[in-house]
Structure 1
């Protein structure tokens, strides 16, 4: 029985039990039940709100600023949702994990992007967000002399999903339009303040105390790979290869390429040594690779021979194809394919290869040589172009549809011609062969003829990348940093080339980081816990604030839309002002609901 079904049964059982208790009058008057929703009402805390509301001018000034921010976000949210919904309708994308029903729920362990290991941090962040949001509504009620009937918590079964403040209806109606607007905007304003505080601490003292540990972070190992057979897996950190120190994942790749030993000793972060019997595992294949196809190479194949010579390492593969531009590759499962061996490239429009050699834009070319330089993979092609100057004419040997061709190319300038965009395949990297100056004008796929191989078989965890995103170092602007932090829990959806998401310093990834400086006295677990709480508190407050700014009733954005519409309509020369206000706000609200449904479920229904 899957998890979702267990949850459904639990919800039904809770609903039945709560209804039974309520019907028999066994619940306190402060507890009210409606289906699986339970609300706990209280009047306690009103005296505290009265005391806190004393500096009314200060609170009104902050609330007015919040109204301005909320209005800007409301307009942006409206336009963004409409644009995204239209995009889904016109060109439905492939469904992703975000579109599955369980991932709509903010329940750790059920939502694929919210692991159970950070459940306490997520619940803490959610409680802070709800209490602050509704507390701010209550505070502004008292600032604006609006009476409060009750306040409390809303629970979905036993899980806190909301807090509420119930203003007195008559008192709210008698309040000025400006007072009501400030009260409606107070919740999102408070959430944004929490975001600023949480992320300021995360970007500053907490994040600054965390650094990436030396070595290559192992996110996982391919099934049946040399690493898996040697017992290397998630959470391991490779600190040495063949006795030579390894600084990071890039350094590991470089050392594997330079090491010709078929058996190598790998040292892990805890001092454990593993003996690895290397073999060339295919880890990625571009769709346009001449080595791909129904009868070609596929991910998880193991290359056995090249032109009949056994190969088990990257160095052996390079040596086997050094003299021949076309080679026969055979795998351990008997697949044999003959194809040109070089750097798989796509010609970009108006680049030097397109403009001076008359190679059509969009053409797939396997470049095997530049001048006298043999090109086996992307790194070779980049190095060959880097060694030349703009304006230099160079002979380029390439294969188009299996036919050998020679091109005379006048190299351009990277400053003048620009870079390139990423291709469609996961093995195509967002880089061109633009060096310091010289520029060929192609998009280049990773690997040999678009095929990536690995004689170890591990997948790297982007520890440094995630730390830079988490601490604000990855973006020059605060808004850019907020955007990056927003997508961290599901980053693999945003960037399919990354296999792992970031939910905090939890699980196996804690081995990839260490705490330095004065905070190291607290110990890694304490600092990591603090960072996780700050991350999820800021993340949830940010989501709650933006969601509540959607201009749709009963969200705060919908209520602000109503008061703003009333202010505009009151100045129009029409008689049916309430009806016109209702028509506008209802129309906008329904449009937002439809747009959200299209964004969430459109890819599944239309894709």
Structure 2
């Protein structure tokens, strides 16, 4: 609130100073003020637009294609917004980060999903998008012989937020409906073309020049964990543990389990070595875990299992290998718990559900095929030894009793191994227990989702990016990846994460410049796609609303009616108000209903 207050005070001061300067005649006539909004008007550039408009047949054909695309998207936006509004009315969603009002604004730092680190790229993409959008309107004005009153830029205080072209009203009225429709559609057409060009460059040569750096990328260390105490932090790459090279999270896990000494040497970035003194720490928990432990400000230390002191996960696994239940001593007290992999959800129609396991209750898997399972890592390791179609007994603990299900394994879409169809909480029995304590950054996954190579034979999302349209969809949702894909939101190739990547191939001489180009292309495409889609909403004063009016006039003019103007006004106003109400419901409904 303090930051918002300072912003509002700054806008108020700017508005008062600007108005005072205007009253005293210090501002030129080309600058017009409306509160904190300033527009700069000019007639320069009209001659350039007239020259560019000379191949009129080409521009009309180009805009006719744009009109067709815009009409399809307009219909889609109408159905989508109306459906979303009705859904919110019938089943109001709980307020979340996604439906907070500020997250509908494309403003870095205000929108929770758009970090300040990429503000320059987002603002550049927005500025380019607005220029090509309004430039399209201006160009088609000259193609259709519509005079231009002025052109200019819109500022909010000192920040450019828009551009505009003012057609001459009389000249615009004299133009036929087809000419006006093409002119209105030219802006969004340019936005979509710019999006396609930017994505083509990004998915092609630019991402092709980026590779994943060796080692395990560290997103951060859990507070109070051994890694945090030793100084491991965001941006580091773990390249070796106890002399063993690691290239993936699985390698890191295996190396830590294999290291017998409590203190291990960890190589960072292939350049420096630190020593980490391991201790078992609970850094996370699921709400209904059988130990009834909740991690708050301070981590919980695990001191002993069944009376035996333990410091590493390997020692913990050995201590619980021969017993299904274990008595664990922690800094939060002593607990006796069933030890296994904690299942948060059994998928409907999945292999375990088909074996009659309940889908509405959590359970703990303690063994598969007679092999002991003590953690989520054990579960993955055991299933890797089975093939799809194998029938295996799966022993579980639920509601205070043990059950065994004979399960016909499915195929894991990620690696083709055995699959039982469950969501697993990482760690043991609903507790995320670690002797190291880092969260990893999915550098390879992001590269894969942008059409590059993650350095493996098959990534987690390899089937999601098989076509150009799929790549565009994924790029559109990457800033919301935590909600849509279950991985952290993608901020772009910011300085905080470039240590996780390397530049290679023909673009290698550009060095870190490749990351700047990639960020600019990604956010320019993302912003322009958003700008084009928003302007296709069929409501005035957006381009979609203006196209709706000309198309409605064309249809109604062919009907045997006397007051066609009133019918056109009724149709367009009704649709426009419906869209406005739908937008208001989408933005404020989750908070108000």
> TM-score, with normalisation over the residues of structure 2?
0.91
| Structure 2 residue matching 1:97: 3-state secondary structure | coil
Per-residue deviation, 1:472: 6.5
- 1:412 corresponds to: 408
Runs (4+) off by over 6 Å: 389-392
Q: Which runs of 5+ in 1 are unaligned?
A: 420-429
- 2:495 corresponds to: 507
Contact 2:392 2:409 survives alignment (8 Å): no
- Within-5 A mapping of 1:211-250: 211-250=211-250
| Structure 2 residue matching 1:256: 3-state secondary structure | helix
- 2:322 corresponds to: 323
| Structure 1 residue matching 2:496: 3-state secondary structure | helix
Per-residue deviation, 1:48: 0.6
Q: Which runs of 5+ in 2 are unaligned?
A: 454-463
- Within-5 A mapping of 1:328-407: 328-332=327-331, 334-345=332-343, 346-349=345-348, 353-356=352-355, 358-385=356-383, 387=385, 394-405=392-403, 407=404
Kindly tell me: are residues 572 and 282 of structure 1, through their superposed partners in 2, closer, same or farther at Cα, counting changes over 3 Å?
A: farther
Contact 1:217 1:238 survives alignment (8 Å): yes
Contact 2:208 2:452 survives alignment (8 Å): no
Per-residue deviation, 1:576: 2.3
Per-residue deviation, 1:575: 2.2
- 2:555 corresponds to: 568
Q: Distance in 2 between matches of 1:451 and 1:18?
A: 59
Q: Distance in 1 between matches of 2:117 and 2:391?
A: 58
Contact 1:96 1:493 survives alignment (8 Å): no
Contact 2:389 2:410 survives alignment (8 Å): no
Q: Distance in 2 between matches of 1:6 and 1:79?
A: 40
Contact 2:390 2:409 survives alignment (8 Å): no
- 2:179 corresponds to: 179
Q: Distance in 2 between matches of 1:202 and 1:124?
A: 16
Kindly tell me: are residues 297 and 2 of structure 1, through their superposed partners in 2, closer, same or farther at Cα, counting changes over 3 Å?
A: closer
Per-residue deviation, 1:3: 1.9
Per-residue deviation, 1:270: 5.8
Q: Distance in 1 between matches of 2:391 and 2:54?
A: 77
Q: Distance in 2 between matches of 1:563 and 1:6?
A: 44
Contact 1:366 1:400 survives alignment (8 Å): yes
- 1:79 corresponds to: 79
Kindly tell me: are residues 576 and 259 of structure 1, through their superposed partners in 2, closer, same or farther at Cα, counting changes over 3 Å?
A: farther
- Higher mean displacement: 113-122 or 526-535: 113-122
- Within-5 A mapping of 1:444-463: 444-463=424-443
Per-residue deviation, 1:102: 4.5
Per-residue deviation, 1:343: 2.3
Q: Select 1:465's aligned residue among 439, 442, 445.
A: 445
Contact 1:472 1:481 survives alignment (8 Å): no
Per-residue deviation, 1:408: 5.4
Matched, 1:577 2:576: no
1:52-102 deviation line (CA, Å, top 9, x unaligned): 001011101110111111111111111111222223333333333344454
| Structure 1 residue matching 2:497: 3-state secondary structure | helix
Q: Distance in 1 between matches of 2:63 and 2:193?
A: 11
Kindly tell me: are residues 408 and 493 of structure 1, through their superposed partners in 2, closer, same or farther at Cα, counting changes over 3 Å?
A: closer
| Structure 1 residue matching 2:232: 3-state secondary structure | coil
- 2:108 corresponds to: 108
Q: Select 1:593's aligned residue among 580, 586, 591.
A: 580
- Within-5 A mapping of 1:285-296: 285-291=285-291, 293=292, 296=293
Q: Distance in 1 between matches of 2:74 and 2:247?
A: 47
Q: Select 1:489's aligned residue among 479, 487, 492.
A: 479
Per-residue deviation, 1:520: 1.4
| Structure 2 residue matching 1:598: 3-state secondary structure | helix
1:238-289 deviation line (CA, Å, top 9, x unaligned): 1111121111333212322333321111111161221111122224323343
Per-residue deviation, 1:569: 1.8
Kindly tell me: are residues 459 and 382 of structure 1, through their superposed partners in 2, closer, same or farther at Cα, counting changes over 3 Å?
A: closer
Matched, 1:260 2:260: yes
- Within-5 A mapping of 1:81-160: 81-160=81-160
- 1:163 corresponds to: 163
Contact 1:351 1:412 survives alignment (8 Å): no
Kindly tell me: are residues 123 and 349 of structure 1, through their superposed partners in 2, closer, same or farther at Cα, counting changes over 3 Å?
A: closer
Per-residue deviation, 1:181: 0.6
Per-residue deviation, 1:40: 0.7
Q: Distance in 2 between matches of 1:472 and 1:270?
A: 24
Q: Distance in 2 between matches of 1:457 and 1:388?
A: 30
Per-residue deviation, 1:144: 0.8
Contact 2:53 2:143 survives alignment (8 Å): yes
- 2:302 corresponds to: 303
Q: Distance in 1 between matches of 2:591 and 2:515?
A: 37
- Higher mean displacement: 263-272 or 364-373: 364-373
Per-residue deviation, 1:595: 1.5
- 2:459 corresponds to: none
- Higher mean displacement: 31-40 or 297-306: 297-306
Kindly tell me: are residues 538 and 441 of structure 1, through their superposed partners in 2, closer, same or farther at Cα, counting changes over 3 Å?
A: closer
Matched, 1:540 2:536: no
Q: Distance in 1 between matches of 2:122 and 2:557?
A: 44
> TM-score, with normalisation over the residues of structure 1?
0.89
| Structure 2 residue matching 1:507: 3-state secondary structure | coil
Kindly tell me: are residues 349 and 156 of structure 1, through their superposed partners in 2, closer, same or farther at Cα, counting changes over 3 Å?
A: closer
Q: Distance in 2 between matches of 1:351 and 1:519?
A: 46
- 2:312 corresponds to: 313
Aligned residues: CA RMSD:
2.4
